[in-house]
Chains A and B, each alone.
Chain A
Amino acid sequence: MKKILLAVVTLALFAALVACGGGSGGNEAAQGQDGDGRVLEALPPLTTAPIHLRFAMWDDIDHNQWLADRFTDHHPNITISVEHFGGTGVYHSNLLAEAAAGNMPDLWGKLEISTPIVNGWFYDFSDFWFNDPDVEHYLEHLRPQGVIDGRAIMVVTEHLPAVVYVDRAVFNRLNVPMPRFDWTYEEMLSLIEHMTRPDMGIFGYNFFVAPVTIAPIAKIGGYAEFGWDGNNLNMRGPWADALNWMANARRLGWEAQYGSAEWEALTGDAFMWPGTSGRVAMQLDAFWTMSNIYLRDHYRIERGLDMIPYTMPTSEGAPNNNKIAWLDFAAISAGTRHPREAYEVLKWMSFLPQAWMYRIQDFPVRIREDGEPYYLMPNHVPTTNCPDVMEAFFGILPIAPGDTFMEEAWRAFLRLSTEPVTWGGRVLPGFDQWVHEIYHNGEFNGVIGIEAAVFDGLADAHDFAADLEASFRPFYDSMMAEFRMWMGPPRN
C-alpha cells in the first residue's frame, strides 16, 4: 500500500512541477512580470561557494531536516542544519541566549512577534520578495500577513487550521442530522444549545479555541483576534456578545464542566478531558488533535469517538471567509551573512510546490523510534495555492474506504481553509503583552481578568469593550516604535 502511495505521490510531484512551476529556487534568471503586470527585477544569483545555514525550530525537526536535505540535493553547496531549540515553553528564551552569545541561527521559526521585534532579529527581505515570481505560489491570503510597515519580514512555514470536531457518534445517538459543511456561526451556536441533553449527560460543546476568538472573525471578518481590522481592535460587537454568550453557556450547562463533581459523577474521573469523553457534541480544537488523539485506536474504537472535521464557521453576510488558524511563521536573522540563500531556504521550507510534494511524500512514511508512524495524518496543511499539491495532500488524508461523508468533509475542509488568519500575538506587535497585562490581569468590577469577571456574572463584556479597545493602542504603538528603531521608517 505504501509503495503504491509513494508511486502516486512521486507522479503527482512531477505533475505539480509541470503544472505549478516553483522549483528549488534561485530565480536569478526569472526576470519578468508578476500577476499584476508589474515588472520584476532579477534576483541576485545564489552563491556557488560552499556555505552552511542554521534553521531554529521547536517542532517536526526530523521531517524538516529531511526536507532541508532535499534542498541540498538541488544546491549541493548549501547545507542546512535544522536545530531544535526546545519546546514552545523555552524556545524564545533559548533563542535569546543564542543571540546574547552572538550566535543567532540564520533562519528561525517564531511563536510570537514581540520578542523578535524588540531585539531587532528581523531581516527585511522586501527586495527579494517583491521581485520574486515564486511568490505567486504562496497562498494569496497569507502574503500580507508577513509584511509590516511595507517590509517583508516573515513567511508562514506551517498552517494549522482550527477545527470544530463534530462527533458523528453523538449526533447519531440523538438522531440529529449532521450539519452542512459550509455552516454558519449562528448555526453552530444553535446546535450547541440543541445538542445539550442533561438527562443523557451530553453537552453541546467544549473548547480549546474559544468563541470570543472565533466570533469577531466569523462576523466582521477580523484579520487577527478580537476584530483587528488592520488598525484597531473591534471588541464592542461580536467579541462582547461572544463572551457574554460563553458565560451564559456555562451557566446553562451547554459547556462540559471539566473538574466538577457532576463531571466526576458522569465519567468517573473529574479530570477526564471532555474532548475524549464521548459526551460532547462539538469540540472546538486544533488541527493536530486529529492526528494526536482522534485517530488513535484507543479513542476511535474503545471510546467510540467518530470526529468529523468542520472548518470554523463564518457568519452569514460576513465580508470574507477568514478562519482562525495557527500560522507558524519563520524569518531570516538580521545577523545572517547569507541573506539571499537564506531567502531561498525560507521559501523552500514554506510554500514552494516542489517542496510541498516532498513533504507529502514524507508524511506517511516517517516512523518513530518505536516503529509507530510519526504522523497518522499530516499535522499541517499546504501553504501553497497549487491545485496539484492540494490534490496530492488530499490523497494522504486518513479516510476509511467507503466513508463518503468523511471524504466530503475533508474536501470541504480544504476548500474552505484558504483564508487563514492567526492569533493576535503572532502578528500584532504588543498583543501578547496587552493580553497578559490588561485582558487577563486587569481589574474589572473587583475581579482580575475580564473573562473571569464575566464568567463570575460580575461584569457585562459590553461595558468594558471600548476601554479594552483603547488600552491596546499604547502597547501597539510602543512596539511599532521599537520596530522602526531597528528597521527604519515605513517603506512604501
Chain B
Amino acid sequence: MEKVIHANTFRMKCVKLANKIKGLRKSMRISGRTRRNWFYAYAFLMPWLIGVFLLLIYPLYTSFSFSRSQVRFPPTGLVQFPVGWENYTNIFALDTVFMTGLVSFTLQLIPQMAIIVSFALIISMLLNGRIKARGLFRAVFFLPVIIATGPVMSELINEGVATVPAVNLSAIANAMDFLPPMVLEPIVGLFTQLIMILWNSGVQILIFLAALQKINPEQYEAAKMDGASGWECFWKITSPALRPMLFLNVIYTVVWLANSDQNPIINMLHIRMIAGVLGPGGMPGGYGHASAMAWVYSIVVLLIIGLCWVVLHERKDKDKPETKRLEQKSYLPKRREIVRKLRKSDMEGIGVDKR
C-alpha cells in the first residue's frame, strides 16, 4: 500500500516537473530577430572570445597545472608528474632567494612607481604649457616608449648609459647606513636605475597630457580672476581632474615594472625555468617550480595594485557632499555673473577697466 502511495506521489511530481519545463520552453521561445541579433553579436565577439580562450584562459590553466606538477621535457615530448601543492610549499619553506627577491622587488617598486608618476605629472604639465616646439618636446619624451624595448634597453644598459656615473652610490649608502640592508639596497638600487626610471614615463606623460587637455581653461581663468594662485589652481582644479588618471597611471606603472625585462624577479623566473632545474637545498625546480613562483608573484603584484586602489580610488559616498560643496563654490557661476555685469555695463555705456 505504502509503495502505491509513493508511486503516485512520484508520478505527480514528474507531471509537475514536465509542466514546468513546458512553461519554461514557452517563455524562452526566441524570436527570429533576436536570434539574428545574437548571431551578429557573437560573430563580432568571436575573435575576442577565441583570443581570450587561446591566449589567456588556456595559458593560465596550463601554468596553474604546471605549478602543481614537476614538468620535464624528454625528447619525446612534455611529461608532467603531479606533486600537488609541493611547489608552493617549497617556495615558502625553502626558497629564501625568491622570497628575499620578492620583498626587495616590492620595496623597490613602490618608490620607483612614485618617482615615475611624479616625473610624468611634472613633465606633462610643462608640455601642456605654451612653449615653443611643444610638439617636438612631446615627441622627445614619448620616444623611449617606442625605441627602448627589451633588447634595445638591454643593450643600452650594457653600454652603461642607464646609470649616472656622477652619482656617488657609496656616499648615499653611507648616509643611510642606519637602515637595514634589506631596505637600504633597494633604495641605493634606485639611483643606479635613475635614467631607466625616467625613460619609463612616456606613456604616463601621454595619459596625463590627455587629461590636462580635457580641463576647461575657463576654470583656470575664473579662478585667476578670483585671485587664486597657481598653487591653488593646481590643488583645486588640476589635481581633482587628474585623480582618475593618476590611478590609471599608477596601475599602468606597477604592471609595466612588474613585467619589465629588467625586473630581477622575471629574470629569476627565467633562470629557474630554463637553467634553474634545481632550487636551493636540492629542491625540485624547472617549469613546475617556476610556474608556482609566477603565481605567487602575480598575487603579490595584484595585492600591490589592490593597495593602490585602496589609497587612490574615488570614494563615491564620501565624495558626493564634497562634489556638491565644490559645485556650490564653483567659480563658474561667479564668472557668468561677472560677464553678465560687464555686458550690462557695456550696454549702459560705462567703460570697462581692462586691467
Contact = CB atoms under 8 A, between A and B. Distances in A.
A446 B181 contact: yes
Given A92-B274, A270-B165, A477 B75 contact: no
Interface string A261-300: 1001000001100000000000000000000000000000
Contact of B282 (A114, A261, A333, A475): A475
Interface stretch (A65-73, A97-105, A354-362): A97-105
A479 interface: yes
A409 interface: no
B185 A474 contact: no
Contacts of B310: none
Given A104-B75, A119-B72, A121-B74, A432 B275 contact: yes
A409 to B, nearest CB: 32
Nearest to B166: A261
B277 A99 contact: no
B97 A114 contact: no
A270 B73 CA distance: 45
Given A119-B74, A259-B160, A335-B75, A264 B277 contact: no
Most B Cβ at <10 Å: residue of A118, A430, A443: A118
Nearest to B285: A433
A264 B277 CA distance: 41
A335 B74 contact: yes
Main SS at interface, chain B: loop
Interface in A170-214: none
B77 A99 contact: yes
Contact of B275 (A115, A120, A264, A335): A115
Contacts of A260: 165
Given A259-B165, A264-B165, A102 B75 contact: yes
Contacts of A336: 75
Contacts of A59: none
A84 B271 CA distance: 21
A402 B73 CA distance: 56
Contact of A271 (B160, B274, B282): B160
A93 B78 contact: no
A286 B189 CA distance: 31
A437 interface: yes
Interface of B: 72-78, 97, 100-101, 159-160, 165-166, 181, 185, 271, 273-286
Interface of A: 92-93, 96, 99-102, 104, 112, 114-115, 117-121, 259-261, 264, 270-271, 333-336, 430, 432-433, 436-438, 441-443, 446-448, 474-475, 477-479, 482, 486
Given A114-B275, A335-B74, A446-B181, 16 more contacts: A92-B275, A96-B73, A100-B77, A104-B76, A114-B278, A259-B160, A260-B165, A335-B76, A437-B279, A437-B280, A438-B280, A441-B101, A448-B185, A474-B281, A474-B282, A478-B283
26 contacts: A93-B273, A96-B274, A99-B75, A99-B78, A100-B77, A102-B77, A104-B76, A115-B274, A115-B277, A117-B277, A118-B72, A119-B72, A120-B72, A120-B74, A120-B75, A121-B74, A261-B165, A270-B160, A270-B165, A271-B160, A334-B74, A335-B74, A335-B76, A433-B275, A436-B275, A477-B282
